[in-house]
Amino acid sequence: YTPLAEADPEVQALVDRETYRQFRGLELIASENLTSLAVMEANGSMFTNKYSEGLPGARYYGGNEVVDELEVLCQKRALEAFHLDEKVWGVNVQPYSGSTANFAAFTALIQPQDRIMGLGLADGGHLTHGAYTPKRKISASSIYFQSLPYQVDPSSGLIDYDALEKNAILFKPRILICGASAYPRDWDFARLRKIADINGSYLMMDMAHISGLVAAQVSNDPFELCDIVCTTTHKTLRGPRAGLIFFRKDKESDVEKRINDAVFPACQGGPHNNTIAGIAVALKQAATPAFKEYAVQIVKNTKTIAAELLKHDYKLQTEGSDNHLVLWDLRPLGLTGSKIEKICDIAHITLNKNSVPGDKSATVPGGVRIGTNALTSRSMYEPEMVKVADFLHRAVQIGLQAQKEAGSKLLKDFVQKLEGEGEAAKALKQL
Ligand code: PLP
C-alpha cells in the first residue's frame, strides 16, 4: 500500500492542482458540488475491489456478505432521505450515472421505438430525455425511442403546459418525462399527472439537478404524483458521481423486477460498490437538519444573484429562480455564452455556456447557467452572492468592451491584474 504521492507523483500532482483549482476559484457550475471528505473516503475505499453482480442476497459472486449489508443500508437511507414509505417505494442504487439510470428506466418500462416526451434540449431538458437536432439523433434515448420534445413558452420562459397537453394528446407518449438541466423553476406535478393520465403514460421525474432540494423539502415533491423518479447523486445532493432509480411499487406489480433487471444485466455489469458506499454516506448527510439549512440557503443564494443581475436589467430566463440555478440570456447584449464562459475562466469563475430557449444553433449558446450549490457548500451566504453577481456583471462589461474594440484598455487592465498573466493572455487571444 504505497501512497499515491509515492506510487505516482504525476497523478498526485494533478490531484493537487485540481484541488487547488476547485478552491482557488468560484465554482458556479449548477451540476457540480463539493462533496464531503467522508463521501470521498467511502468512494475511495476497499469496496473498489469487489465484484457483486446481482442484488443483495442474490449475487453471481461469493464474498458479498459485507457488500450486501452496504447496499441494503444505502437503499434504506435513500428511502429515508426522500421521506418515502418502503411499502410504496423501492429504489435501485446501482446506476453508474444519471444517464444510465434514465436509460435503464426506459428499458424497464417501454419497448424500443415506443414514444417518449421530455423537455427539449434547447429549452433546458437533458440529452437523455429524447434529445435530437434537425440533423441527427444525438442521444440513445432518441435513437432507440420515438421522441417528441415539449417546450417552454418563449414569452415567459415557463413550461408551456397547454401546448404540452395538446401535443401529448396527439403523440400519446408511453413516458412523460419531467425534470431538466437548465430550468430555474419548480415543476407542476399535478398538471403533469393529469396530462400523463390522458394517455395512461408513465410519469417519470428526473430530479438530478434538484434532488438535494427535494430531500430537504424546499421544492415540490415529485414522489407524490410520479411513477418513477431518477436522479444523479452528485449535484445538489452532494454525493459521489452516480444515479438512483426510485419506483412506485404499487403501481404495477412487476415494476421492481423490471427496473432491477434493466439496471443489471440489461444496461450495466457489476455495481460500483465504492460509489454505493459514498452514496450511503451522502444520503445520511442529506437527512440532517444541517443539510436542510444548506438547501434553504442554496435557494436564497440563487435568488440573491438573480435579484442583483436584474438590477442591471439583464435578461434572466423566467426572470428569476425557485431553485439552485439562474439561466442568463446574453443575446440582448449581443454576447455569446462561450465568450462569457471564457472571460470568467480567466478570472477563475467557473460556469458554463448554455443554450437559452429560441437559440438558433446549439453550437453557439446564447446564455450561461449559474448554480449556487458549490459556493453554498463553501458556507457562502447572501453578502458573498452580491459580490459574485458583481463579478459576473464586470465579466459581461469586459465582454461588451472586448466586442467593441479589440485589445480594449479595460480588458488589458483586467488581464494584468490576474496572476499567471501568460496563461490569461493566451486565453484572452481566443476570445
Ligand atoms: N439528468 C439530468 C437532468 C442531468 O442534468 C444530467 C447531467 O447533468 C443527467 C441526467 C446525467 O447525469 P450523468 O452525467 O451522471 O450521466
Summarised one tens digit per residue, pLDDT across range 110-131 is: 999 999 999 999 999 999 999 9
Region of residue 79 (left: phi > 0; alpha: psi -120 to 50; beta: else): alpha
- Using only C-alpha atoms, the chain has a radius of gyration, in whole angstroms, of 22
Which H helix or E strand runs over 10? helix 9-24
Cβ neighbours for 165, distance < 8 A, ≥ 6 positions apart: 194, 195, 198
135 is catalytic: no
Q: Is residue 415 over pLDDT 70?
A: no
- Give me the pLDDT at residue 392, please: 97
Closest CA to 240 of 379, 37, 410, 56: 37
**Phi/psi of residue 381, each to 5°?**
-125, -165
For ligand 1, atom 4, the nearest C-alpha belongs to: 181
Q: Which of 33, 228, 232, 327 to mutate to test the pocket of ligand 1 (most atoms within 8 A of CB)?
A: 232
Closest CA to 315 of 335, 295, 296: 335
Q: How far is the CA of 204 from the centre of ligand 1 (A)?
A: 14
48 is catalytic: no
Average pLDDT over residues 77-95: 97
Q: 315 forms bridges with which residues in the sheet?
A: 329
Residue 76: pLDDT band (50, 70, 90) is: very high
**CB atoms < 10 A from the CB of 220, how many?**
18
Q: Could you tell me if the CB of 118 is within 6 A of ligand 1?
A: no
Residue type, 381: Y
Report in angstroms the alpha-carbon separations of 181 from 98, 228, 261, 370: 11, 18, 27, 11
For ligand 1, atom 13, the nearest C-alpha belongs to: 98
For ligand 1, atom 12, the nearest C-alpha belongs to: 98
Predicted TM-score (pTM) of the model is 0.94
From 32, 123, 206, 341, active-site residue: 206
Taking a C-beta distance cutoff of 8 angstroms, is the pair 349, 392 a contact? yes
- Give me the pLDDT at residue 401, please: 85
Q: Could you tell me if the CB of 233 is within 6 A of ligand 1?
A: no
pLDDT digits (tens, 9 = 90+) for 17-47: 999 999 999 999 999 999 999 999 999 999 9
From 77, 115, 174, 235, active-site residue: 235
Q: 228 forms bridges with which residues in the sheet?
A: 204, 247
Residue 319: pLDDT band (50, 70, 90) is: very high
CA angle 319/219/355 to nearest 5° reads 40
Cβ neighbours for 345, distance < 8 A, ≥ 6 positions apart: 427
53 is catalytic: yes
pLDDT digits (tens, 9 = 90+) for 116-173: 999 999 999 999 999 988 888 989 999 999 999 999 999 999 999 999 999 999 999 9
Q: How far is the CA of 173 from the centre of ligand 1 (A)?
A: 22
318 is catalytic: no
- Give me the pLDDT at residue 302, please: 98
Closest CA to 368 of 421, 315, 414: 315
What's the chain's average pLDDT? Answer: 94
Task: Count CA atoms closer than 13 A to 201's CA, side-chain side.
Answer: 28
For ligand 1, atom 9, the nearest C-alpha belongs to: 98
Q: Which of 29, 32, 116, 128 to mutate to test the pocket of ligand 1 (most atoms within 8 A of CB)?
A: 128
**CB atoms < 10 A from the CB of 132, how many?**
18
Assembly ipTM: 0.99
**Phi/psi of residue 340, each to 5°?**
-70, -35
Q: Is residue 325 over pLDDT 90?
A: yes
- Give me the pLDDT at residue 422, please: 58
Closest CA to 155 of 297, 317, 303: 317
Residue 361: pLDDT band (50, 70, 90) is: confident
Orientation angle between helical segments 421-429 and 337-346, nearest 10 degrees: 170
pLDDT digits (tens, 9 = 90+) for 231-259: 999 999 999 999 999 999 965 569 999 99
In sequence order, which ranges of 96-215 are alpha helices (DSSP H)?
Answer: 98-109, 140-143, 161-171, 189-199, 211-215
20 is catalytic: no
Question: Does residue 383 have a cis peptide bond before it, meaning omega lies within 30 degrees of 0?
Answer: no
Least confident range from 127-136, 184-193, 298-307: namely: 127-136
From 241, 248, 303, 315, active-site residue: 241
Q: Which atom of ligand 1 is nearest to the CA of 207?
A: 3
Transcribe 228-258 into DSSP letters.
EEEEESSSTT---S-EEEEEETTTSTTHHHH
Q: What percent of the chain has pLDDT over 70?
A: 93
Q: Could you tell me if the CB of 126 is within 6 A of ligand 1?
A: yes
- Give me the pLDDT at residue 128, please: 97
Q: How far is the CA of 83 from the centre of ligand 1 (A)?
A: 23
235 is catalytic: yes
pLDDT digits (tens, 9 = 90+) for 204-225: 999 999 999 999 999 999 999 9
3-class SS at 216?
A: coil
Report in angstroms the alpha-carbon separations of 13 from 7, 10, 20, 230, 345: 12, 5, 10, 36, 21
Average pLDDT over residues 295-302: 98
Q: Could you tell me if the CB of 240 is within 6 A of ligand 1?
A: no
Q: Which atom of ligand 1 is nearest to the CA of 102?
A: 10
From 232, 233, 236, 372, active-site residue: 232
